[in-house]
Amino acid sequence: MLAESMPTRAETVVAAMAREIEDGDVVATGVASPLAILAIAVARATHAPKLRYLACVGSLDPEITRLRLSSEDLAYLDGRAGEVTIPDLFDHARRGRVDLMFFGAAEVDGRGDTNLTAAGPLDHPKVKFPGVAGAATLRRWVQRPVLVVGRQSRRNLVDRVQVASTTDPGRRTRLITDLGVFELGVEGARLVGRHPWASEETISDRTGFEHTVAEPLPVTPAPSAEYVGAIRTIDADGLRERLVG
């Protein structure tokens, strides 16, 4: 347990993710999504008690009393209101019934394309990434997809992704990083918010795609005591600090 202190950078980012969720939203998570699970649990414990959660482990509205290392931990079956299969999750998304889902990426470009597949050409990749799983279709079907990069650099915010694993050219997509918030799309990227510790210059230095800047540029608010308390209770092991910044 972290000692009583001011909110950390990771806690500020988790709270920003949680605020993307509205009360009553249907939200879902896929594999390798501990930050997303934490944000959902925090939202439910604070401003969005009526959200409905579809967990890829196969449960509807599980009780999340502790954040686990794996998104597929069977503890996320505890206290569930029902069971949800992977085909169920895809069906709900295809019918427009999933409001929000967070998506990670090894690379993101200013168009909003993401790479979850490989570094280098597909026929001779230098590095293979975990893979796209269902993100290619789910991202287009979810009402409000949100991209998340926990450690922003020019290696992951790039001019053009090496492999376009997911695309969504018909609309703009929000991207939350450990430095700020972007809106991405075929019309170009725009920085729409910065976290308190990140200057515009720092963000520009660690961004590999061209982007405009909102004027004035909002600063992400510090999480309230209620948010911080929920984050530290649910993630008592401090996993968030290893995933952000």
Q: What is the pLDDT of residues 196-226, one digit of tens each?
A: 999 999 999 999 999 999 999 999 999 999 9
Confidence of residue 155 (pLDDT cuts 50, 70, 90): very high
Confidence of residue 32 (pLDDT cuts 50, 70, 90): confident
Please determine, for residue 195, whether its predicted confidence score (pLDDT) is greater than 70. Answer: yes
Confidence of residue 122 (pLDDT cuts 50, 70, 90): confident
Q: What is the mean pLDDT of the chain?
A: 95
Q: Is residue 36 part of a domain?
A: yes
Q: Is residue 157 part of a domain?
A: yes
Confidence of residue 13 (pLDDT cuts 50, 70, 90): very high
204 CB-near residues (< 8 Å, 6+ apart)? none
Q: Is residue 4 part of a domain?
A: no
Q: Is residue 60 part of a domain?
A: yes
Confidence of residue 4 (pLDDT cuts 50, 70, 90): low
Please determine, for residue 1, whether its predicted confidence score (pLDDT) is greater than 60. Answer: no
Q: Is residue 70 part of a domain?
A: yes
Q: CA 198, CA 180: separation in Å to the nearest integer?
A: 7
Q: Is residue 2 part of a domain?
A: no
Helices 9-19 and 34-45: angle between axes, nearest 10 degrees: 70
Global model pTM greater than 0.85: yes
Q: Tens digit of pLDDT for each residue in 84-114?
A: 999 999 999 999 999 999 999 999 999 999 9
Expressed in angstroms, the distance from the first to the final Cα of the chain is: 19
Q: Is residue 28 part of a domain?
A: yes
- In terms of C-beta density within 10 A (0-12 exposed, 13-18 middle, 19 or more buried), how is residue 47 classed? middle
Q: Tens digit of pLDDT for each residue in 43-91?
A: 999 999 999 999 999 999 999 999 999 999 999 999 999 999 999 999 9
Q: Is residue 178 part of a domain?
A: yes
- pLDDT mean over 142-147: 98
Domain range enclosing 93? 9-243
Q: CA 120, CA 123: separation in Å to the nearest integer?
A: 9
Residue 63 gets which letter from DSSP?
Answer: -
Please determine, for residue 3, whether its predicted confidence score (pLDDT) is greater than 70. Answer: no
Confidence of residue 29 (pLDDT cuts 50, 70, 90): very high
Closest CA to 92 of 154, 142, 158, 56: 142
Q: CA 135, CA 156: separation in Å to the nearest integer?
A: 18
- The more confident residue out of 190 and 132 is 190
- CATH number, domain with residue 65: 3.40.1080.10
The domain tally of the chain equals: 1
